[in-house]
Amino acid sequence: MIRIGQGFDVHQLVEGRKLIIGGVELPFEKGLLGHSDADVLLHAITDAILGAAGLGDIGHLFPDTDPTFKDADSAKLLEEANKKVLATGFTIGNIDCTILAEQPKMKPYLGQMKAVIAATCQIEENQINLKATTMEKMGFIGQEEGMGAIAVALLQK
């Protein structure tokens, strides 16, 4: 059996927060606002694998109303979600993602991000594809008010 899930996440850029994307801290003057560390890429991946397994979404599993998840490491949340997916008998076939951000440039960090995602999801790096694009100065992402990510995951049983 093969199932496909998609995930999408956005967060506002603010001063006074670390910028963490794909489990990697990037040098930047702003970070993403959220209850957890606001890692848009890992949140999108979490939603994609949960969706493919029919297990809801990140907000259902790790609600932002629960103080337990305040400033949580999104890699830990993805790891817990992956354990739930594995418990259903599914494994990840592949993950494909796009990061939406004007800056900083993501290309220098994509390899590190893949390594974190692979280790967290217990898969090989060649099962992950990461891309980054700008919004050509349009919309809230293009105006550098926030960032987003889109992910698609294929699960197999």
Residue ranges of the annotated binding site for a divalent metal cation are 9, 11, 43
Tokens, residue 145: 């008010």
Conformation bin of residue 66: beta by default, left when phi > 0, alpha when psi is -120 to 50: beta
Rg (CA), the chain: 15
Asked if residue 45 lies in contact with residue 151, where contact means CB atoms within 8 angstroms, the answer is yes
Rounded Cα distance, 63 and 87, in Å: 21
The binding site comprises 9-11, 35-36, 43, 57-59, 62-66, 133-136, 140
